[in-house]
Amino acid sequence: MSSTVTEAHPNHSNKSPLELQNSNQSKRNIAVMTSGGDAPGMNACVRAVVRAAIYRGCKAFAVMEGYEGLVRGGPEYIKEMNWLDVRGYLSEGGTNIGTARCMDFKQRQGRLKGCKHLIDAGIDALIVCGGDGSLTGADLFRKEWPSLIQELKDTGVISNEKYEKHKHLNICGTVGSIDNDMATTDATIGAYSSLDRICQAIDYIDATANSHSRAFVVEVMGRHCGWLALMAGIATSADYILIPEKPSSSKGWQDQMCQIVSQHRSKGKRKTIVIVAEGAITNELEPISSDAVKDVLVDRLGLDTRVTTLGHVQRGGTAVSYDRILATVQGVEAVKAVLDSTPDTPSPLIGIEENKIVRKSLVEAVEITKSVATAIENKDFDKAMSLRDSEFTEHLSNFMAMNSANHNEPTLPANKRKSIAIINIGAPAGGMNSAVYAMATYCMSRGHTPYAIHNGFAGLSRHESVRLIDWLQIEGWNSIGGSEIGTNRSTPKETDIGMIAYYFEKYQFDGLIIVGGFEAFVSLEQLESARAMYPAFRIPMVLIPATISNNVPGTEYSLGSDTCLNSLMQYCDVVKQSASATRDRTFVIDVQGGNSGYIATFAALACGAQASYVPEEGIPLDQLEADINSLKEAFAVEKGLSKSGKLVLKSTNASKVLTTQVIADIIKQEANGQFDAKTAIPGHVQQGGLPSPIDRTRAARFSIKAVQYIEEQFDSIAPYKYVIDFPSDDKKVASTAAVLGVKSSHLKFTSIRQLYDFETELGRRMPKKISWNKTRDVADQLVVSDANRSLFSH
């Protein structure tokens, strides 16, 4: 996840905060508020708003206790915030500025009080982080603002001068909700952290269920939205899910669940996991409780069944890296949005589409979101599904297809069924096993024959390592890290491309899915280039990028990079805690990633590192000097305070001369005893343990799209399978070998020929264009330590 501006820029802004303040014609007083249910990542959003506002020369305020604080008012509830007030916020769960339900604000008199209190504090822009109810209140507040302030003036509560100064209030929304129930955005702040808690719990439950051959019914949050239950179902290979958007009759769900569970058990599965959203209902709107599900499994199937209700565990704990980053870039964008706003600008909602931060209409997003609940209440479930974003519908379809693997009649006629192989190439990455599982189960549901090529192309050419994938064998692979079918870095030309072609022909592969990093990218190009000589390669071939380096051309996201970021973030949090406890210590952390600075950049954003060095920029000596001076200023200002530890992240390849140890030694030398510097090298810890829910669910989505692509493209190349004059320069034929990637707000297939010939720096093993450059600018803005530090203290 990142913003998608691609132009190059310096490691630090050319303007100091003071210059930005003086150049800003309309200095604003910007308040931030968290409201509704708390969500992990809200603190990151507050931190971003406060620091982004100050960086742009504005004053920052926090409204404590949500709308309750707005109604009560006064300096106790509407506090001016300085730069240091939000130190340590990134690694803390919940919301430090508080949240509360407020019935008074639902009445006009309460909103009138809120209007007066904002005017008293001099605030002219409000950023609200909350769910649909909170954002509905925010939009209503803005709509009523002209009449509210008019009433205050007419009754003599405020002066005419204050009336003229505060005639307009700009409001911007960022969505903080673990349910991920807001329309027009792919993800809400806190949703993936909550999903992470759920998946971790189910992984634990899975082990004990398998030990005793038990069934477990797991209840998760989601009163009106089944996103958590659906995504957890995909990520943990649950047997059945119950969500409010797709109910069946009071007897229908019982029959269907028992049929599926019985089929799974008859195939040798020892455990059963059923996930129930708290808002699960029948098509008559009757609630389906976890206990009711348990009773059905006990009475009809005789299974030893337990119920686990996860409850508020799903809200707790620190945010995962995705939510920290999402909340941070959305907070920064929200500040930009209110500064860009005019009295006529509709209130924006900051959202994300695939990989791009976007501004949407707040009122439209709220209206669509509320209409989903209305449609469910009216029993119009088709409409409710249509109002969910297309990705939700896609995930539900994928879950049902994978869940019916090897049990129901295949959905394709016999003459359309193919033999499709999958292979892992390159270093292990989180999500590789999930990709194999999704590919195989989807193939089975369609009627295709799935094969796994074990131990890469070297395993194929030397040992004929082709294995038919068995359903029971891959059960549980979703929650396993590494690569169960094995992987290595050897490309076809480095092994024996002729022997590889021989085995492709022997097994009559109709399609190939490659999962891996840059070596996988090169391998796909070699196979495509060899089509003229080897007819066996004249089949659709798809690369699913999977590497922690995230350096595959054609995509802004690779499987494994989220798992890596989480592992590195947790490591950095622990190291930073150590640095803070010791006081006045900096850790220089060595970060993997080859010639890509993606991991170092986003880890710096998620952990609040003071600086990061990446191969794309190198380490200029003047930059190193500036960063050491910045560290000196920061330690001087924070002398004696807690949470004073600092991190500096360095990509291993950022400099061959200035190694991690050398940088730490230089910092220590230049500190003159003011503070200490040590190194920390996480090494292969960065490849992650268990794959993150994001990598699990994206692996499923990508793999299924890859199989669908092979189905769609097969007829484009099949006529050329055995022709002598193979049209290798035919673009339509060449496009049947493609990379599946995320580009800005789209998921798309790009021809390997286009990428390899025009968009790749082969020597550096990198794409020519870097999608995440702008993110470095954001990270720098939020940790800048200027000589004018007094600016931040007000």
Residues 525, 560 contacting (CB under 8 angstroms) = no
Q: In whole angstroms, what is the distance from residue 555 CA to residue 743 CA?
A: 6
Q: In whole angstroms, what is the distance from residue 517 CA to residue 523 CA?
A: 10
Residue (of 472, 511, 474, 519) closest to 494 by Cα position: 519
Q: In whole angstroms, what is the distance from residue 698 CA to residue 783 CA?
A: 32
Per DSSP, 470 falls in state: P
Q: Where are the alpha helices (DSSP H) in 175-289?
A: 191-212, 227-236, 252-266
Q: Where are the alpha helices (DSSP H) in 267-416?
A: 290-301, 321-340, 362-377, 381-387, 390-403
Which of the residues 124, 179, 206, 323 is marked catalytic?
A: 179
CB atoms within 10 A of CB 581: 12
Residue 777 buriedness (CB in 10 A; 0-12 / 13-18 / 19+): middle
Structure token digits, residue 262: 């019985």
Residues 2, 562 contacting (CB under 8 angstroms) = no
Q: What residues form the annotated binding site?
A: 37, 101-102, 131-134, 177-179, 214, 221-223, 278, 306, 312-315, 489, 547-551, 585, 592-594, 678, 684-687, 765
Q: How far is CA 394 from the centre of its chain?
A: 17
Is residue 179 among the annotated active site residues?
Answer: yes
Q: In whole angstroms, what is the distance from residue 325 CA to residue 566 CA?
A: 11
Start-to-end C-alpha separation, the chain: 34
Structure token digits, residue 186: 């792919």
Structure token digits, residue 537: 């390669």
CA distances from 613 to 569, 609, 620, 653, 761 (A): 16, 11, 10, 9, 20
Q: In whole angstroms, what is the distance from residue 611 CA to residue 232 CA?
A: 35
Q: In whole angstroms, what is the distance from residue 155 CA to residue 94 CA?
A: 40
Question: CB within 8 A of 5, min separation 6: which ones?
Answer: 773, 774
* Three-state SS at 207: helix
Residues 636, 22 contacting (CB under 8 angstroms) = no
Q: In whole angstroms, what is the distance from residue 711 CA to residue 417 CA?
A: 9
Angle (deg, nearest 10), helices 252-266 and 290-301: 60
Q: In whole angstroms, what is the distance from residue 602 CA to residue 321 CA?
A: 8
Q: In whole angstroms, what is the distance from residue 117 CA to residue 71 CA?
A: 7
Structure token digits, residue 306: 């337990």
Residues 183, 369 contacting (CB under 8 angstroms) = yes
Residue (of 135, 71, 130) closest to 103 by Cα position: 71
Per-residue three-class SS string for 656-682? CCCCHHHHHHHHHHHHCCCCEEEEECC
Question: CB within 8 A of 286, min separation 6: which ones?
Answer: 250
C-alpha radius of gyration, the chain, whole number: 28
Residues 113, 102 contacting (CB under 8 angstroms) = no
Task: Return the active site residues.
Answer: 179
